Structure formats: C-alpha cells, structure tokens
Amino acid sequence: MTFQSEGQRSAESERFFADRSVDALMGSALSLTTELLLLSVRQHRIEEAVRGRDSRPAGGEVPLRPAERDWVRDRADQVVAAWLDPFGG
Amino acid sequence: MSPPAAPAPSLDLREDVQRELVLATRRYWAGPLYRRVVAGARRVGPVSGPDELERALARMPAYQAFGWLEQHLQTFKYTGPGGLMPAAERQRQVIEAMLAASEGRHPERLVLDPAMRLPDYYRDTDFHLVPGGIHSRSWDGVVYEWAAGTATMMQNESTDVHDSLARYLATVTPGRRILDVGCGFGPTVRALARALPEATVTGCDLSAPVLRLAHHRALAEALTLRFVQANGEDLGPFPDRSVDLVTATMFIHELPPPALRAMLRAARRVLRPGGRLVVLDFYLVPGGTLGRFFHLGHARRNGEPFMPALLELDLPAELRAAGFSAPQISPYPPGQPLDRLPESWRLPWTLIEAEALGGSDAA
Ligand SMILES: C[S@@+](CC[C@H](N)C(=O)[O-])C[C@H]1O[C@@H](n2cnc3c(N)ncnc32)[C@H](O)[C@@H]1O
C-alpha cells in the first residue's frame, strides 16, 4: 500500500504495522469494499427506476440525494460488518 | 439584498460513497472492533505500561486490523481514488470563486497576514495525516471541513461538542469580548456567536485558507465574526488586556510544550485581569494503562506527534506559571468516568479552565 505519505511520520508507526500481509489484506479489502458499496448504490438506483420509484435514467452517476442517504448508510454498515466481523464480531 | 450565493464545491457519487464507507468503517472500528481489542488486552494480565501491552497484542488479528484502520483509513480518506483532496483540487476554481466572493463582502472581518512565518513544527507536521497540512492550498479549508466529522468521530457522537461547549461558556463568560485561538474553519466561534448574540467574537489561526473558509461560513450564517491570521504563541495582533474570554478547542495538543507555554503566556497577556481561559482538549485519559495504550496509539497512528507530551505536562502548574489562578481540569462532558474505559472508542475530551490573575500578580 502506498497510503503512507511523506512528512514527520515517526518510524514507530512503521514498526507497528510492518506486517506486510496485514497491510496487503486490509488495503485490498478496503478498496474492494468501497467498490462493492458503489456497485450496490448503482444497482439500487436501477432497481428503483425499474420499480418506477425513480424517474432518473437508470444507473445515473448523479450525486447522492438526501433521500438516498439512509439507504447508503445502512448498506455501508452491512458491507463493513461483512468485511470486519471476522476480526471484531 | 445579499448577492446570489456562489456555487459551492460538492462530492460526486464516488467521493460521497467513499466518505460513507469511511464513516461506516469508523463506526465499526470504534464499536465492535475496539471492544474486541479491549477484551484481548484484558486477557493479557498485568503489564508495566502501554509499551508492554503493545508488544503483547502486536500479533492479535483484531488489534492489527484496528491499528491498520486507524492509520490508513485517514490517508485513504484524503488521497484514495475517491479521496477528499482530489475532490477539492478538481473544484479549485469553484472554491476560489466562493472564497473570493465572501472576501469581497465585509473584507474588514478577515485580516490575513501574507508575511506570516509558520513555525517549523506546524509546517513540517502532517497533522491528522493530511498530506501537506492545511495551510498552503486554497482548498485546504474545504478538505479539512469535509474531513472533520470522520476524524474525531464527532459525527458519530450524539452531542455536538462545539454547541454544548458554547452553551456552557454562555453561563461562565466574564464578559463579551471573546478570542478563539486555533479556530480552524470556525465551528466554535459560530457556536459562540449563536449562543451569545451580544458577544464580540474573534477567531485566529495560522492557516489562511482555513480562515477564508471560516469567514465564508460565518457570512453564510449571517453571523458577525472576525477572523485574524495570527500565531497562538504570541497572539501578536491582539492588544494587552483586550479580551474577557480566551477559548481553544482541539488546539493545544498540536503544540510542542515550549509553544504551549508561550500560548498560555500570550493568552494571559491579552486577557484582562479576572478574564478566563477555557480550553477543550485531550488530557485526562480514562481507563488507566489500557486507556493510555489506546490514546498513545491514536497519537502515533494519526499524525499527532505532540499529543503524548501534553499528557506528561502538569497543566495546573503550567497555568500558574503563565499567570493564571484557580485551574480546574475535568472530563468533558462533565461526569464522564475516569476510572474505566468508555464503551466505544472516544477521544479523552477534557475541559481546562483558569482565571487570569490581577495585574500585579501576573507572571
Ligand atoms: C485540530 S484543529 C482545531 C480547529 C478548531 N478549533 C475546531 O475545534 O474545530 C487545530 C487548528 O489549530 C491551528 N493551529 C495550529 N498551530 C497553531 C498556532 N501556533 N497558532 C494558531 N493556530 C494554530 C491549525 O491551523 C488548526 O486550524
């Protein structure tokens, strides 16, 4: 992962997270979970359009609307729990 | 008639979804994942201090995930594919136009100092892991504001720290002239102006882009606030004894001890005798060794190099040495227990208060 940026970052944080397999696993899971949530939102929009609840062109990339926020939040909690339950659940 | 509002920057679908994912991850991290680490730490048995606990837990999967997320979720949030920095940079023209439009209105309420010399500790530290800090690019204030809710978990806490503090301050302020040091994009000063409509409230900060956004936000809320670019270590633009109340929220943990001492002396100088200093920061850490283990880990993983040194300071003694009396230090909100860990991860909010001594007693 290259999220670590320059600056006055102490060598200590490296010491703590030196475990490369954890780094690779968590980094890819974070990226994939984000993509999964984005796909879910797009799919939800298509479903809503098919059911006639949304007049927007299906799959639109328009920004999130306030009415969608709660749905996205719940879905985000679900995908995150599915990812992290093996560690924390 | 006020002029039409300038277009504001916003997040596109990917950026907004990424932000929701970051928030959801923080919720999980601060709840179930944190509790799993706590349970693991309790099984370790007696330890000599946070370092030993760190070594004992280093291979525990839940702690590895916890630590990794605490650090990398921040950088992902800023510079990941849907990160806040590219989002703001993409809209730099919108942001610049928005800030310039507000600067044109009431320019007397925003005093910037293009010759301001940033202290080395400030320029060289990426606080909260924001690449390049929050003081150089015109859009830095917007990124900071977008990020604020996910950084401290305030968005996940039910109370709004700034409003609750302002309500408290409205009951204790010894006068109407208020100066907020390290005001950022202005959440505390706006809350103060709402809670104390009669007060004259000024915010100061080192960062010009952040102050420009604070000015814009104040105008958008029709609040009369003044913002001045100044170093909290000397509060140069502010005359002696010109203020009744000095506040600082989430500010002093970003100062190395010599700068903190200078800031306390400067606050004492600008306060009138009998004036008050009220600081909200992170100092009384609940939960003994385990609490310190989490807080020191947070400092290390979140670009807070001076947070640990603050814990080591004898703040009542420092306040007295700077010319204050009657120091009071208490968990915030009042009544938070100190003898046990919170159920969910939270920063150790602490209220630090003192009174400026009379002229002849002052240090
Ligand atoms: C964590 S932020 C808190 C901002 C605000 N008080 C709040 O509660 O949201 C710390 C702020 O202090 C400012 N700062 C850091 N060192 C400073 C100094 N020596 N003088 C003035 N401002 C400083 C930073 O630019 C930043 O805006």
Q: Residue B233: which domain range? A: 151-361
Question: Do B35 and A88 make contact, defined as CB atoms within 8 angstroms?
Answer: yes
What proportion of chain B, given as a percentage, has pLDDT over 90?
85
- Whether A14 is in a domain gets the answer yes
CA B231, B232, B236, B242 torsion-angle sign: positive
| DSSP conformation letters of B153-168 | SGGGSSS-HHHHHHHH
* Measured distance CA(B27)–CA(B37) in Å, rounded: 15
Beta bridge partners of B279: B248, B352
pTM metric for this prediction: 0.92
DSSP state of B344: S
User: Domain count of chain A?
Assistant: 1
On the question of pLDDT at B250 being above 90, the answer is yes
Q: Is residue B140 part of a domain?
A: no
Residue A60 lies in a domain: yes
- Mean pLDDT, each 10-residue run in order, chain A (89 residues): 39 54 90 96 90 67 90 97 91
CATH number at B293 reads 3.40.50.150
- Whether B199 shows a pLDDT value over 80: the answer reads yes
Residue B155's pLDDT is what?
Answer: 46
Of B343, B297, B304, B285, nearest to B55 by C-alpha is B297
Give residue A80's domain range.
Answer: 6-84
Count of pairs with CB atoms under 8 A, one residue in A, one in B = 137
- Residue B149 pLDDT: 65
Which tens digits make up the pLDDT trace of B141-166?
999 998 886 655 444 444 589 999 99
Tokens of B313: 């300071």
Shortest distance between the Cα of B34 and any Cα of chain A, in A, equals 8
The arithmetic mean of pLDDT across residues B161-177, rounded, is: 94
Instruction: Give a yes or no: residue B203 inside a domain.
Output: yes
Protein residue whose Cα sits closest to atom 14 of ligand 1: B182
Q: Is residue B47 part of a domain?
A: no
- Residue among B137, B202, B251 whose CB has most ligand 1 atoms within 8 A, to mutate: B251
User: What span, in angstroms and rounded, lies between the C-alpha atoms of B146 and B281?
Assistant: 21
Domain assignment of residue B245, yes or no = yes
Query: Among B48-52, B73-77, B101-105, B344-348, where is mean pLDDT lowest?
Result: B73-77
User: In chain A, which residue's Cα lies nearest the Cα of B55?
Assistant: A16
Closest Cα in chain A to B128: A9
* Residue B57 pLDDT > 80: yes
Whether B142 maps to a domain, the answer reads no
Q: What is the mean pLDDT of chain B?
A: 92
Predicted-complex ipTM score: 0.89
pLDDT one-digit tens code per residue, B80-119: 889 999 999 999 999 999 999 999 999 999 999 999 999 9
Task: Report the atom number in ligand 1 closest to the C-alpha of B183.
Answer: 6
Cβ neighbors of B196 (< 8 A, separation 6 or more) are B166, B169, B170, B173, B176, B178
User: Which pLDDT score is estimated for A22?
Assistant: 83
Shortest Cα distance, chain A CAs vs residue B203, angstroms: 27
Chain A residues in contact with B76 (beta carbon < 8 A): 3, 30
Report in angstroms the alpha-carbon separations of A54 from A15, B46, B224.
Answer: 51, 59, 42
- A89 falls within a domain: no
**Does pLDDT of B363 surpass 50?**
no
| Binding site membership of B356 for ligand 1 (Cβ less than 6 Å) | no
Which residue from B21, B36, B58 is facing A37, i.e. has the nearest CB?
A: B21
Is there a domain that residue A35 lies in? Answer: yes
Nearest CA to ligand 1 atom 8: B249
With a cut of 50, say whether residue B32 has pLDDT above it: yes
**Residue B194 clears pLDDT 90, i.e. is over it:** yes
Closest partner residue to A5 among B14, B65, B131, by Cβ?
B131
Ligand 1 pocket member B18 (CB < 6 A):
no
Show the tokens assigned to B28.
């999980």
In this model, does residue B355 exceed pLDDT 90?
A: yes
Residue B222 resides in a domain: yes
For residue range B258-292, list pLDDT tens digits in order.
999 999 999 999 999 999 999 999 999 999 999 99
| B81 inside domain | no
Q: Does residue B102 sit within a domain?
A: no
The tally of domains found in chain B comes to 1
Q: Band of the pLDDT at B256, cuts 50, 70, 90?
A: very high
> Does B214 sit in the ligand 1 pocket, CB within 6 Å?
no
User: Is position A48 within any domain?
Assistant: yes
B50 CB neighbour count, 10 Å cutoff? 19
- Chain A environment of B126 (Cβ under 8 Å): 5-9
